[in-house]
A and B are shown apart, each in its own frame.
Chain A
């Protein structure tokens, strides 16, 4: 149990579906992250939120839409995805870097494995 919970753990969707991934952290952190991990590729940073404000969008296509209603919850809304978007989507949280300095270690969830048909 890492304190970061992701749901669903597995998701299969068609290219025309709309679905959402949910992440919840119980660690009192201020920063939350979405990463994508495709087979045989490094983790790719997608989005960063600090105190509910988006501070990083790593050139992610608009078919991925993040939402951070409060510091404990992060969503990734998915629509019109492509088969190449199939991957493990990992959520992480940390103390906001400005507060914790360089030691703000990331705590990851177990991921949501997405398959796009």
Chain B
């Protein structure tokens, strides 16, 4: 399985943008990049996904490197409620094995 590498933890100030990096140097051409986050005492929730092009939704933006070996999840204006563990996952089409890594624990400073 292609793997991802993320920093263990990051800090950011409230109301500032946050850039969460993910390396996936062994990604294959058909793997999708998915991001989930897990708020304290909750199950993970889907954030965003992409294949090659940058993506935006109401929660975040996803910037994918041209060679697809890395990606960055962007929270445009962090709030205290964005403090969570963020997981970067590679999804193989039509494969139901969805494997989570350790993720990045994001701390938001008021």
Measuring CB to CB, which residues of chain A are less than 8 angstroms from any residue of chain B?
2, 4, 31, 33, 35, 42-43, 45, 48, 50, 55-56, 90, 92, 96-98, 101-103, 105-111
Contact = CB atoms under 8 A, between A and B. Distances in A.
A27 to B, nearest CB: 12
B110 interface: no
B66 to A, nearest CB: 20
A45 B99 contact: yes
B96 A42 contact: no
B43 A108 contact: yes
Contact of B43 (A2, A45, A98, A105): A2
Given A42-B101, A42-B102, A42-B103, A106 B44 contact: yes
Interface residues of B, number: 25
- Could you say which of A31, A45, A50, A105 has the most chain B C-beta atoms within 10 Å of its C-beta? A105
Contacts, number: 63
B64 to A, nearest CB: 14
B47 to A, nearest CB: 9
Interface in B40-71: 41-46, 49, 51
Contact of A55 (B36, B96, B103): B96
Given A50-B96, A103-B49, A92 B43 contact: yes
Nearest first, the 6 closest Cβ-Cβ pairs linking A and B are A108-B43, A105-B46, A102-B32, A43-B100, A102-B93, A97-B96
Given A90-B43, A102-B32, A103-B49, A48 B94 contact: no
A75 B45 CA distance: 21
B97 interface: yes
A2 B96 CA distance: 20
A48 B41 CA distance: 23
Contacts of A107: 46
B34 interface: yes
